[in-house]
Amino acid sequence: MRKSIIMTTISAFAVLSLGACAESEEEAREDLVEQQYESQEDVMEEQADLAEAQGNEAREEVLDEQADAMGEAGDQAEDTMMVE
């Protein structure tokens, strides 16, 4: 629940900040997609840090791997949007 609230808030700020910029619609979409993936990656990294602090190394490793995958997915999504 908290994660979805954080993501919604971050996405809303991203949309507002993009609206204020003098960018093309395509560039704004690319930026939004990139920010959404980066936000998700950041949340996962924080969860991994918490798991590490709690001594749960297995969960930390899983979350770190998921965060890395999210970062890679964001890069791929951005590359795909640039090609289109």
Quote the pLDDT of residue 21: 55
pLDDT-based confidence at 78, cuts 50/70/90? Answer: confident
Residues 53 and 49: their CA atoms lie apart, in Å, by 6
Residues 71 and 79: their CA atoms lie apart, in Å, by 12
Quote the pLDDT of residue 18: 53
pLDDT per position as a tens digit, 15-66: 666 555 556 888 888 888 889 999 999 999 999 999 999 999 999 999 999 9
Quote the pLDDT of residue 22: 58
Crossing angle of helices 25-53 and 57-83, rounded to 10°: 170
Is the separation of the CB atoms in 76 and 37 below 8 Å? no
